[in-house]
Amino acid sequence: MARRWRFAGSYPEVKLKCRICGSKAEVHLRSHNIALCREDFVKFFERRLLRTVRRFRMFGHQDRVLVAVSGGKDSLGLLHALKKLGYKVAGYHIYLDIDGYSERSLERVEAFARMEEVEIRVEGVEEALGCTIVEASEKLRRPICSLCGTVKRYLMNRAAEEFDVLATGHNLDDEAATLLGNLLHWQEGYLERQGPVLKEGDGFRRKVKPLSFTAEYETAVYAFLEGIDYIVEECPYARGATSIFYKDVLGRIEEKMPGTKIRFLGGFYKFRGEHLKPMDVPLRLCTMCGYPTTGEVCNFCKLKERLNSRTTESEQYISKK
């Protein structure tokens, strides 16, 4: 679903001046109660990103950071900004093979890699799983997004092995919507783990979300101003997702009370740091692939096994006929 982003300049009645330099403002950030010109907005965006990285000790200039990129504004904007700020970055894209959406995403990712001269590794789900996500969902009659989540998590963790940190483009709107969902359903385990940093350990690399305090509107404006050609459409399976409903609800609250999202999430992180301790779940190595897991076999290998047994069952059925 394509969204339209509003710039202050698109309202003839709004004559705002940049808080920093006094020239004509083009970006109005109601949640921060400031208006900025293009150049100062870009600086503001990058400064806050840097502050978030440092405040949560996400990584340093000596670390190699793998940025997971979908082809959208958040992840490409993050990779671009981190590179500009002098971090050692590379991108990682998972080709999902979904309708025409995946081709269009890959085109954007490849064009970005050429233009920015940054390495972006591409991995296809089909090679890793033996079939596409859509085929897996049809064969196992399971919701596509839950399979997709399992596969993406596994592949990302595996790809991050050669790096120090794995960064994703989750923004303030994503994180606030996740928090709302976790609170509404009182998902204690998820609440304990929801944060801008997931510590490394037992074979997993540290996972970080440097855009946790940056609104989706701001990443869209940044990507536009920095000339990033990103994919605007969302995955067709995202339509009707509960997370989008939560984002809309929070968006309406934000309209009435600017700054609510940032206070909601920031307040939770503070509370979590003081009162919630994520439980230490002992991990062992998957007996099939050797990757860390809580059980004997990891979810990805279980999925592969189920798909293989389905294929064998249908082959037997056909050969009997």
Longest dimension (CA), the chain: 79
286 interface partner picked from Zn ion, ligand Q46, none, CB below 5 to 8 A per type: Zn ion
Strand, coil or helix: what is 167?
strand
Tell me the closest approach of the beta carbon of residue 291 to Zn ion, in angstroms.
5
The smaller minimum CB distance to Zn ion, of residues 236 and 290, is found at: 290
Work out whether 148 is an interface residue with ligand Q46 (CB under 6 A).
Answer: yes
Q: Of 75-83, 182-190, 234-242, 246-254, which segment contacts ligand Q46 by CB under 6 A?
A: 234-242
**Other CB atoms within 10 Å distance of the CB of residue 320:** 6
Tell me the closest approach of the beta carbon of residue 302 to ligand Q46, in angstroms.
18
Work out whether 238 is an interface residue with ligand Q46 (CB under 6 A).
Answer: yes
| CA pair distance 132, 104, nearest whole angstrom | 17
Residues 280-309 that bind ligand Q46 (CB under 6 A): none
Residue 159 near residue 123, CB atoms below 8 Å: yes
Residues 295-314 that bind Zn ion (CB under 5 A): 298, 301
Tell me the closest approach of the beta carbon of residue 310 to ligand Q46, in angstroms.
20
Work out whether 18 is an interface residue with Zn ion (CB under 5 A).
Answer: no
**Binding residue for Zn ion, selected from 120, 286, 303, 307, defined by CB under 5 A:** 286
109-113: long-range contacts at Cβ-Cβ below 8 A with a sequence spacing of 24 or more? 109/69, 109/71, 109/76, 111/229, 112/69, 112/71, 112/76, 112/79, 112/80, 112/228, 112/229, 112/230
Structure tokens given for 222: 């940044």
**Binding residue for ligand Q46, selected from 34, 122, 145, 253, defined by CB under 6 A:** 145
The smaller minimum CB distance to Zn ion, of residues 23 and 309, is found at: 309
The smaller minimum CB distance to ligand Q46, of residues 148 and 250, is found at: 148
Tell me the closest approach of the beta carbon of residue 201 to ligand Q46, in angstroms.
25
Residue 107 near residue 100, CB atoms below 8 Å: no
Work out whether 217 is an interface residue with ligand Q46 (CB under 6 A).
Answer: no
Taking CA atoms, 116 is separated from 92, 119, 123, in Å, by 14, 9, 20
Q: Which residues contact 17 (CB under 8 A, 6 or more apart)?
A: 23, 24, 25, 35
Structure tokens given for 237: 């399976």
The smaller minimum CB distance to ligand Q46, of residues 102 and 293, is found at: 102
Tell me the closest approach of the beta carbon of residue 133 to ligand Q46, in angstroms.
6
Work out whether 235 is an interface residue with ligand Q46 (CB under 6 A).
Answer: yes
Tell me the closest approach of the beta carbon of residue 190 to ligand Q46, in angstroms.
16
Angle at 100 between CA 95 and CA 104, to 5 degrees: 65
- The number of angstroms, rounded, from the C-alpha of 258 to the middle of its chain's C-alpha atoms is 24
The smaller minimum CB distance to ligand Q46, of residues 44 and 92, is found at: 92
The smaller minimum CB distance to ligand Q46, of residues 26 and 71, is found at: 71
The smaller minimum CB distance to ligand Q46, of residues 149 and 295, is found at: 149
144 interface partner picked from Zn ion, ligand Q46, none, CB below 5 to 8 A per type: ligand Q46
**Other CB atoms within 10 Å distance of the CB of residue 234:** 16
Write out the residues near ligand Q46 by the rule CB under 6 A.
144-145, 148-149, 235, 237-238
